[in-house]
Amino acid sequence: MIGDTETAALVGRDGSIDWLCLPRFDSGSCFASLLGESNHGRWQVTADDEVTSHVRRYQGKSMVLETEISTATGVVQVVDFMPPRHHHPRVVRIVRGVEGAVRMRIDLVMRFEYGYDVPWVRSTDRGVVAIAGPNALVLDSPIELTGLEMRHEGKFTVEAGEEVVFVLAWYRSHEDPPFVLDASRALRETLTFWGDWCAGVLPVHGEWEDLALRSLITLKGLTYAPTGGIVAAATTSLPESLGGVRNWDYRYCWIRDAALTLESLIASGLRGEAESWLTWLGRVAAGDPEQLQIMYGPAGERRLTELEIDWLPGYEGSSPVRIGNAAFGQFQLDVYGHLMDAIDRARSHDIAVDAVIWRIQVAIMRFLADHWSEPDDGIWEVRGPRRLFTHSKVMTWVAFDRAVRGVEVHGLEGPVDEWRVVRDAIHDEVCEKGWNADVGAFTQSYGAVELDASLLMIPIVGFLSAEDERVVRTVDAIQERLMNEGFVLRYANDRGVDGLPGREGMFLPCTLWLVGCLRLMGRLDEATAVFRRVIALVNDVGLISEEYDPVRRRLLGNFPQAFTHVGIVNASRGLTASRTANQD
């Protein structure tokens, strides 16, 4: 992944940019071959001869990608990056000769709106310009590109010490093309931007410092800088099971995911990002509490209408491809708990919280007092009937508990006596109805027998102590019945609980919640073993998705996934702190 904190591109091992939406994360794509074929849009820069080896790495503490390609005749480096946004989004690709001479080729297929719109392309003294409707691209190219069957190709040779620079910029078709970029200066400024940002990260992750820093850089890269919103992933419709239908659009901001991200940002010293997210939260949560959504667009957009794109065949035939996400209209009680917990966490770390936020919180608690006992759609956005999900009720307890803390700890004003009564009532109900004595564990919903990995949050949010016998038995039951190859499944789908056919992969964020539970129980060796199992799955440049297929032994789901990277940051910090405490 390369990005400019407003959108991101995915670069394949073969030197092809297969996914890029412009100008925002959730805009239409200009390269979409990730979800189809090369004729749906891509930009490949690679050797024209057989590649004998290639090695990828990020340059230092940055999101500047460097790929070293070796052939029988020499070695080249391809440096890919997106400069921090000034006005127009740009992708820069610098080909540097290292040894000998290497013949290179470029294959450029520009398609707007998810591979559908074929642009009109013309050559200019800069390179090529492509226009279709409101979208336009200009490629500054020092080599001549030949148009062939609605794609452009070019070949060139790079010798040691030489550089060939390509810059692709998006602009609105009714405006003038952007100025020609000084690529060398842009590279220096981009490296400085990331270096300065990383300098603010606290070293609290022990032996996993480099891994955690890469995850934090990825989270920064998934932040929509103009508003502070944090998208869940850079992609849509990468499948949760190959060939399956669980293909969702994750280019939006979930309050739950972002609230969990807040913890990793604050604890890592990134207070500016935390404050920006709180400002974003204040805007999206403003208004009628009944209309609070689980997710929003990067700028706080509320209507995320879901559509199926039938002209894209999907990643390895996994269809349908979806844009938009109908889950924005779901009723999920847990989001109120995550929201209240995130704001309480910010106040506890002396993060500036606007006074209007507390007024919004009080209004939210009035709504929740009347609705906490209702069934909801649950954390996993199952598309079946609403249920009395145990996790949802636990998180409503969190909401009232953090509201009480707002008065008792932070000196704010509110009906604290009423909140205490509701908080205690929820606690009693969950312990009575969420616990199944026959199963010997808390179950997915009241009266059910199914387990659910979301219940690993019970000790993490402080609902019950990690030493509580019911927590211990629930964690053990989840390990026994929801684990495969050492990874945790969200829930067993044998009964079609989510209303969809097929199965999904092992859920990595839940596996990282298990790390947190085991750590709180004092089972550090076991927690560390589970954590090492997860981080062994990151790719060669430290990125990871949401799920894992233990049979095919490959990652699944949208990529890179903020939820998982947050779990890596929090788990590495927690394990480091517990190990240090034990040594002391």
pLDDT in tens, 334-389: 999 999 999 999 999 999 888 889 999 999 999 999 999 999 999 987 767 899 99
Residue 115 φ/ψ region, left for φ over 0, alpha for ψ in the -120 to 50 degree band, beta for the rest: left
Q: What does residue 304 show for φ and ψ, rounded to 5 degrees?
A: -120, 55
CA–CA dist 165, 148 (Å, integer): 22
- Residue 395, CB-side half-sphere exposure with 13 Å CA sphere: 25
Regarding the domain delimited by 203-583, which CATH topology (the fold level of the hierarchy) does it fall under?
A: Glycosyltransferase (1.50.10)
Read off the tokens for 305.
């209408």
Residue 384, pLDDT score? 75
Average pLDDT, the chain: 94
Number of C-beta neighbours around residue 462 at 10 A: 14
Residue 40, pLDDT score? 98
Any idea how long the chain is? 584
CB distance 296 to 25 below 8 Å: no
168 Cβ contact partners less than 8 Å away, ≥ 6 residues apart:
43, 90, 91, 93, 137, 138, 139, 140
Q: Which residues of the chain have pLDDT under 70?
A: 383, 493-502
Residue 556, pLDDT score? 97
Number of C-beta neighbours around residue 310 at 10 A: 9
Domain boundaries, the chain: 2-177, 203-583
Residue 497, pLDDT score? 46
CA–CA dist 24, 3 (Å, integer): 10
CA–CA dist 97, 73 (Å, integer): 11
Residue 315, pLDDT score? 97
Q: Which among 184, 212, 186 has a CA at the least distance from the CA of 198? A: 212
Which ranges constitute the DSSP H helices of 16-149? Answer: 112-115
**E strand or H helix at 187:** helix 183-198
Q: Which among 61, 20, 353 has a CA at the least distance from the CA of 194? A: 61
Cα torsion 30, 33, 37, 42: sign: positive
Q: Which among 274, 265, 272, 276 has a CA at the least distance from the CA of 212? A: 265
Residue 391, pLDDT score? 98
Residue 431, pLDDT score? 98
Residue 493, pLDDT score? 59
Q: Which pTM does this prediction carry?
A: 0.95
Cα torsion 326, 499, 516, 441: sign: positive
Read off the tokens for 57.
């790495």
Burial letters 493-523, b for 16+ CB under 10 A, else e: beeebbebeeebbbbbbbbbbbbbbbbbbeb
Per-residue pLDDT tens for 3-17?
A: 999 999 999 999 999
Read off the tokens for 212.
């955690």
Q: What does residue 561 show for φ and ψ, rounded to 5 degrees?
A: -100, 115
CA–CA dist 463, 474 (Å, integer): 14
CA–CA dist 491, 384 (Å, integer): 14
User: Residue 61 has what DSSP assignment?
Assistant: S
The CATH number given to 2-177 is 2.70.98.10
Say whether 203-583 and 2-177 share the same fold: no
Residue 499, pLDDT score? 55
CB distance 320 to 284 below 8 Å: no
Return the SS3 of 488: strand
CA–CA dist 326, 499 (Å, integer): 15
Cα torsion 43, 49, 53, 58: sign: negative
Residue 261, pLDDT score? 86
